[in-house]
Every structure is written in structure tokens, then in C-alpha cells.
């Protein structure tokens, strides 16, 4: 009987809708972040800054660039660099998205997934195709790869977006459906759905 009375009191108090909202907001935050993290757009670039190391095989490098532009159906905005160190510095500073380096052994194509996953993937695939078509050995390296769980490099953005949106929605719904809570209780439930939502997003 005492348990039933407690349940009736709890059911008629603002704590029940507040608890339900905590669970709903946490679940929605996880679903929101997950849906965007695993279903991202795959844009196609049309003008790609690229570093061309002009030593030692200038002609082979330029021929490879022509093949890349044809395979990509896009233009490469070439920046000539005398050595790999300068080109790598430009790649690190995101002035270029790839380094093309030709030698007697073939062509080396360095990309940076962390600077643009879709561009790096597109360049790597096109480089292999051009190499197969021309009979030139092409070596593709991702010198700045993304984390394994973030293939497009956008997870942090969508996670932050989910947390902000669900935080606002949770606060509004708490005011509407559990308006009987005093300030301390409201803060406690806000902390609860923030923590639970954070765990849901991280999962």
C-alpha cells in the first residue's frame, strides 16, 4: 500500500514528466548525432589546389596531372615547389590538398584526409586509375589521416550540434511539462539529461 501511495504521489508530481523528458532528450541526442555522423553527404570538388614538386621529373609530373584532371573531370590548381619539404609545409597549412611528386620509379601522391576526407579519397582513387591507365606506378599515402571512427571528419560538428539543440529542447520542455519543479530540482534534472545525453552521444 505504501508503495502504491508513493507511486500515485510520484505520478501526480512534476518529477514524472521531468524523468520522462530526461530519457527522451538523451535518446534523441544520441539518435540525432548518430544519424548525421553515419549518413553524411559526399560533395565533389571542382577546383583542387595541388603541390607539384618540380624536381626531378617535371615532364612525367605534368603528364600525370593532365591525366588526373581528365579522371577527376576537374582542374588542379597547381603550385610549384622545388622540394618535398616546402610542399609538405603547404599541405600542413592547407594551402594545397595533395602533393604530386614524379621520379624514375613512378609517381608519389600524398594526400591529407584530415584536411578534407572527400577530396583525399577522390584524389587517391583517381591517382590509382590514372596510374593503371598510363602504366605508371602510383603510390598514394595519407600523411594526415582521420580517426578511424570519423571517416569524414565531421563527427565533432554534428555531436556539438546535437548537444546544443537537445539542450535547448530539454530546457523548454522541462519548463512546459514540469513547471512545478523548484529551481534546484530543475537544475538537477537539467544536469541529469545533460549527462545522460552525453553518454548517449558518446555511445
The SS3 of residue 94 is coil
Closest CA to 60 of 94, 30, 103: 103
- pLDDT at residue 90 greater than cutoff 90: yes
pTM to 2 decimals? 0.53
Place of cell 599541405: 91
Burial 90-115 (b: 16+ CB within 10 A, else e): bbeeeebbbbbbbeeebbbbbbbbbb
Find the DSSP H helices in 39-182: 58-72, 84-92, 117-134, 155-177
The SS3 of residue 166 is helix
> Cell for 56?
626531378
Closest CA to 158 of 148, 170, 166, 146: 166
- pLDDT at residue 181 greater than cutoff 50: yes
The better pLDDT of the pair 197, 33 is held by: 197
- pLDDT at residue 187 greater than cutoff 80: yes
pLDDT at 96: 92
Domains (range + CATH), the chain: 16-38+154-202 (no CATH), 47-142 (3.40.190.10)
Amino acid at each position: 500500500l505504501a508503495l502504491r501511495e508513493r507511486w500515485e504521489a510520484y505520478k501526480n508530481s512534476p518529477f514524472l514528466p521531468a524523468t520522462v523528458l530526461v530519457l527522451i532528450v538523451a535518446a534523441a541526442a544520441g539518435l540525432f548525432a548518430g544519424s548525421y555522423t553515419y549518413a553524411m553527404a559526399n560533395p565533389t570538388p571542382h577546383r583542387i589546389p595541388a603541390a607539384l614538386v618540380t624536381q626531378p621529373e617535371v615532364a612525367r609530373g605534368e603528364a600525370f596531372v593532365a591525366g588526373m584532371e581528365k579522371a577527376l573531370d576537374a582542374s588542379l590548381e597547381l603550385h610549384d615547389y622545388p622540394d618535398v619539404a616546402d610542399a609538405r609545409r603547404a599541405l600542413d597549412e592547407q594551402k594545397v590538398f595533395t602533393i604530386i611528386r614524379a621520379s624514375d620509379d613512378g609517381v608519389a601522391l600524398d594526400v591529407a584526409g584530415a584536411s578534407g576526407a572527400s577530396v583525399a579519397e577522390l584524389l587517391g582513387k583517381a591517382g590509382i586509375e590514372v596510374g593503371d591507365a598510363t602504366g605508371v606506378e602510383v603510390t598514394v599515402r595519407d600523411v594526415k589521416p582521420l580517426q578511424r571512427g570519423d571517416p569524414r571528419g565531421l563527427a565533432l560538428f554534428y555531436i556539438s550540434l546535437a548537444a546544443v539543440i537537445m539542450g535547448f529542447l530539454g530546457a523548454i520542455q522541462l519548463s512546459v511539462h514540469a513547471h512545478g519543479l523548484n529551481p534546484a530540482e530543475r537544475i538537477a534534472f537539467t544536469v541529469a539529461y545533460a549527462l545522460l545525453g552525453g553518454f548517449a552521444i558518446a555511445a
